Amino acid sequence: MTHPEFVPPMFSNEIVSGKVSWQSPSNIALVKYWGKKEHQIPANPSISFTLDNCRSITSLEFQKKEDKSDSFEFDFYFEDKPKVDFKPKIQKFFERIQQYCPYLNDYRFTIRSENSFPHSSGIASSASGMSALALCIMDLERQLDPGMSEEHFQRKASFLARLGSGSASRSIQGDLMIWGKHNDVESSSDLFAVKYEDELHENFQNFQDTILLVDKGEKQVSSTVGHDLMHGHPFAEERFLQAHRNLSKLLPVLKSGDYSEFIKIVESEALTLHAMMMSSQPYFILMKPNTLEIINRIWKFRKDTGIPACFTLDAGANVHLLYPENHASKVLEFIKNELVAYCENGHYICDQVGNGAKKL
């Protein structure tokens, strides 16, 4: 299926060579995307906080080929070193977006990427990396088509990023992004993520996310495998409906600033994601004993202090501790005193909600 709104017009400009660079952040979902249909269409809508410090920095150098060929020609460097094992992923990405970016065959590319977060931190870089690459490609397209509107640029960048990695569609803008059609968000779409445009209560502005690195190794189960396990999963249909309901509940909470409702939805979403993995065939436990230690300590801390700190998880053992900025010093003290002991080599990353990608 082709989406004509993303097929570019005949270009007026001729560009021979150049270089563009973008930085793009990671994001953390509050209502989770888990399960997809063909062509990277999500099985349910999701919403995420865009992060700030955890990001990828990617540059794209392009040189027009002498003769146009049907193949994609590119080199990929990660942290200044050639990284051949990443090339098939980019090749696949180019194949998926080719009908929307037919000019990709006209150029030879050199792609260089690096992450602001440590290489082996157990933090997936697909959201930041794929969105940064999609933005570089859109930057080239905008040079070829200078009349392009800013809205189209953002939307198509998210559309392309989605075809690289679903959650990458939510990394383009901030501070909150919604991806997947939902009845309460008129502009929402399965094809790209849109910015949360409603009022955001001050309680959630500059929200903090400290990522407690319980396991810095490679993910035990790739998200591709994880999404696939939702096909034929006995609880899948109910889970997809629940995500719709949870987003319906969360939207008014973001406006009202109701911490206790926020916590109920966000923590339940995280545990449900893991419950889906535990109840699939084959089944997986992605949490580690230290993940549970941390969760229990967060619950106790919240009960003892009344500070509205809560956790969420992605599809791994690391814990994202979410809390309001005005409680940062108390929470950081708690992390140092009680949680660091459960992090691999005592490592954690302090991040917060950010505003999205930037051209460099």
Stretch that binds ligand PMV, among 81-89, 160-168, 198-206, 212-220 (CB under 6 A): 160-168
Stretch that binds ligand PMV, among 16-24, 27-35, 138-146, 274-282 (CB under 6 A): 27-35
Collect contacts of 187-191 with beta carbons under 8 A, ≥24 apart. Answer: 188/45, 190/41, 190/42, 191/3, 191/41, 191/159, 191/162
The correct pick among 6, 33, 207, 311 for binding ligand PMV (CB under 6 A) is: 33
Residues 102-125 as b/e (b if ≥16 CB within 10 A, e otherwise) read ebbeebbbebbbbbbbeeebbbbb
Mapped onto helix, strand or coil, the DSSP state of residue 18 is: strand
Closest distance between ligand PMV and the C-beta of residue 218, in Å?
A: 13
Tell me the backbone φ, ψ of residue 229, rounded to 5 degrees.
Answer: -70, -15
* Residue span 71-100 as binding mask against ligand PMV, x where in contact by CB under 6 A, dash where not: ------------------------------
Stretch that binds ligand PMV, among 25-33, 49-57, 93-101, 258-266 (CB under 6 A): 25-33
> Tokens 């640029």 identify what position?
153
What is the sign of the dihedral through the CA atoms of 212, 216, 221 and 226?
A: positive
Total residue length of the chain = 360
Query: Does residue 46 bind ligand PMV (CB under 6 A)?
Result: yes
Q: Which is nearer to ligand PMV, 223 or 352 (CB)?
A: 223
* Residue span 258-287 as binding mask against ligand PMV, x where in contact by CB under 6 A, dash where not: ---------------x--------------
For 137, the token pair is: 């490609």
Q: Which is nearer to ligand PMV, 33 or 103 (CB)?
A: 33
Query: Does residue 342 bind ligand PMV (CB under 6 A)?
Result: no
Which stretches within the chain are classed as H helix? 87-97, 126-144, 150-164, 223-228, 236-256, 259-278, 289-305, 328-334
Number of residues that bind ligand PMV (CB under 6 A): 14
Closest CA to 105 of 130, 128, 72: 72
Query: Does residue 314 bind ligand PMV (CB under 6 A)?
Result: yes
Stretch that binds ligand PMV, among 32-40, 209-217, 255-263, 323-331 (CB under 6 A): 32-40
Closest distance between ligand PMV and the C-beta of residue 165, in Å?
A: 4
* Residue span 200-229 as binding mask against ligand PMV, x where in contact by CB under 6 A, dash where not: -----------------------x------
For 268, the token pair is: 């339940």
d(CA 336, CA 101): 48
Stretch that binds ligand PMV, among 13-21, 30-38, 58-66, 262-270 (CB under 6 A): 30-38
User: Residue numbers of the site for ligand PMV (CB under 6 A)?
Assistant: 29, 32-34, 46, 124, 126, 165-167, 223, 273, 314-315
